[in-house]
């Protein structure tokens, strides 16, 4: 995210950070309120100056010109929104529209001051008009010019009344303070628009990051679901059909048994696929079946002539296990048994579900050839199963441990806490 330095912000004046900044200023009620006050003040000062001139100088030869110039100045000021520089965050009015209107307004006011010094007080609203319409340097030059004429007008009005220091120093001091406050407010507004724009961009980037993270998380979840259901079922079918093909000529009965087993796996896989498409719930848990029943059914279904699988439950749950915990443990059991069947060369395996007060533990043990933890089963050709199991457990705040050594079998243990996750 690109950030502008404070120096860059000050140099930019009231330039908008981006589209959001334009909308913020356009909808700023304080800016409209201040502009309204200044407009009203201008016409009040113009009217009071005209009244004073007519009262103090009845029948003056310049009356016609004063009245004409006052009317012209009022009309020019009213036409400001049409003819003048466009207001907005990009306050460089002359850069956006010709400065003819502002020159005409200032010229009419200067002529009035020369003819009737009492019109000098109309400079106060014109200060605001110049400051909001011009760049910083041009605005300061304009304010200096207006202040000089105000001082000259006051000196002319008090001519013959003696020297008054306030006439020389008070208007410049007031103009300097007003200009400094206004420019400070402009720069603060520019900084605020920049901060708001950065916050809006940050919020959008955060939302995009969250969407990407959610997408990656969902992809990981789907990959684990597919690996632990459809992929494992297809792997079992392949092994059974290959065994049937090898025994087709020598032992047709055994080959037919393998084919029937493959058909059973296919049927179960089809049910898994349908539930997977529907709501990603394991088929063994559909219909109110508990985790123990699902694991027992899994052990019976995966038992074959070369691999005997037992299920044992230790303890009983004090409360019903959350659906996501049951689903995760069942998927872990499916993935672990698939690894046993494909890589372990085991003859027996055991599923043990243990219910403790604060956690539930699933152990999968086999008497196969074992391996060195950290190596990928199957010689590194595959290896998605164990990372997927570990990810499932970690998502639920639990842990996965593996105890194995070459020639000594393997024990995989998944422990999931039952306390509510923060």
CA nearest neighbour of 384 among 342, 322, 355, 326: 342
- 77-87: average pLDDT: 61
Q: Which of 10-14, 214-218, 271-275, 415-419 has the lowest mean pLDDT?
A: 10-14
pLDDT top residue among 221 and 359: 359
- 280-298: average pLDDT: 75
Q: What is the pTM of this model?
A: 0.41
Token code pair at residue 181 = 């406050």
Terminal Cα distance for the chain, rounded: 32
Under DSSP, the state recorded for 141 is H
Backbone angles phi, psi at 116, to 5 degrees: -140, 95
pLDDT score of 218 more than 70 = no
- 358-363: average pLDDT: 92
pLDDT top residue among 41 and 333: 333
What is the three-class DSSP state of 296?
helix
Residue 387 has what pLDDT?
83
pLDDT top residue among 204 and 83: 204
Contact, 40 vs 122, CB < 8 A? no
In sequence order, what are the beta bridge partners of 156?
Answer: none
Pairing of β 399-404 and β 348-355: unpaired
Please write the tens of the pLDDT for every residue from 253-276.
Answer: 888 888 888 888 787 777 777 666
In sequence order, what are the beta bridge partners of 363?
Answer: 352, 413
Q: How far apart are CA 63 and CA 55, in angstroms?
A: 11
Residue 260 has what pLDDT?
84
pLDDT score of 81 more than 80 = no
What are the CA-CA distances from residue 225 to residues 62, 221, 279, 332 (Å)?
A: 95, 6, 11, 10
pLDDT top residue among 375 and 331: 331
Residue 366 has what pLDDT?
94
Residue 310 has what pLDDT?
94
pLDDT score of 86 more than 80 = no
In sequence order, what are the beta bridge partners of 355?
Answer: 360
Alpha helices in 93-164 (DSSP H): 93-96, 100-115, 123-133, 136-157
What is the three-class DSSP state of 14?
coil
- Tracing tokens 């407010």 back to the chain, one arrives at 185
- Tracing tokens 């684990």 back to the chain, one arrives at 224
Under DSSP, the state recorded for 99 is S
pLDDT score of 301 more than 70 = yes
pLDDT score of 106 more than 90 = no
Residue 282 has what pLDDT?
64
**Confidence band of 311 (pLDDT split at 50, 70, 90):** very high
pLDDT top residue among 42 and 7: 42
The ranges assigned to domains in the chain are 6-207, 289-422
How many Cβ atoms sit within 10 Å of the Cβ of residue 85? 23
Token code pair at residue 304 = 């074959």
What are the CA-CA distances from residue 73 to residues 47, 106, 130 (Å)?
A: 11, 9, 15
For domain 289-422, give the CATH number: 3.30.565.10
pLDDT top residue among 127 and 334: 334
CA nearest neighbour of 312 among 332, 333, 342: 333
Residue 348 has what pLDDT?
93
């Amino acid at each position: 995210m690109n950030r502008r330095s404070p120096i860059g912000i000050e140099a930019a004046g009231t330039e908008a950070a981006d589209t959001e900044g334009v909308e913020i200023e356009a909808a700023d009620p304080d800016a409209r309120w201040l502009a309204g006050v200044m407009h009203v003040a201008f016409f009040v000062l113009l009217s009071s100056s005209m009244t004073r001139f007519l009262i103090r100088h009845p029948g003056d030869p310049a009356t016609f010109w004063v009245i004409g110039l006052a009317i012209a100045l009022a009309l020019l000021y009213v036409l400001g929104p049409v003819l003048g520089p466009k207001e907005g965050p990009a306050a460089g009015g002359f850069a956006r529209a010709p400065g003819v209107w502002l020159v005409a307004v200032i010229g009419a006011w200067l002529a009035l001051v020369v003819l009737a010094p009492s019109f000098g007080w109309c400079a106060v609203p014109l200060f605001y008009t110049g400051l909001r319409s011009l760049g910083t340097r041009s605005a300061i030059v304009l304010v200096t010019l207006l202040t000089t004429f105000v001082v000259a007008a006051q000196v002319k009005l008090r001519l013959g009344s003696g020297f008054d220091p306030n006439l020389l120093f008070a208007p410049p001091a007031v103009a300097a303070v007003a200009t400094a406050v206004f420019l400070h407010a402009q720069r603060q507004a520019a900084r605020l628009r920049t901060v708001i724009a950065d916050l809006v961009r940050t919020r959008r980037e955060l939302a995009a990051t969250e969407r990407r993270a959610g997408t990656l998380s969902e992809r990981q979840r789907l990959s684990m679901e597919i690996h632990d259901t459809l992929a494992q079922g297809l792997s079992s079918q392949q092994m059974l059909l290959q065994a049937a093909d090898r025994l087709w000529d020598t032992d047709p009965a055994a080959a037919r048994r393998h084919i029937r087993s493959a058909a059973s796996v296919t049927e179960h896989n089809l049910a898994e696929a349908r539930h997977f498409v529907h709501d990603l719930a394991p088929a063994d848990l559909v219909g109110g079946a508990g985790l123990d029943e699902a694991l027992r059914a899994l052990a019976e279904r995966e038992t074959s002539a070369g691999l005997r699988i037992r299920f044992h439950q230790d303890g009983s749950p004090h409360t019903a296990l959350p659906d996501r915990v049951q689903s995760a443990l069942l998927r872990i059991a499916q993935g672990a048994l698939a690894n046993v069947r494909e890589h372990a060369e085991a003859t027996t395996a055991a599923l043990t579900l243990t219910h403790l007060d604060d956690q539930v533990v699933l152990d999968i043990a086999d008497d196969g050839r074992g391996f060195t933890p950290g190596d990928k089963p199957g010689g590194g050709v595959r290896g998605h199963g164990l990372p997927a199991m570990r990810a499932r457990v970690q998502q639920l705040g639990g842990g996965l441990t593996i105890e194995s050594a070459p020639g000594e079998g393997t024990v995989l243990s998944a422990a999931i806490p039952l306390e509510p996750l923060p």
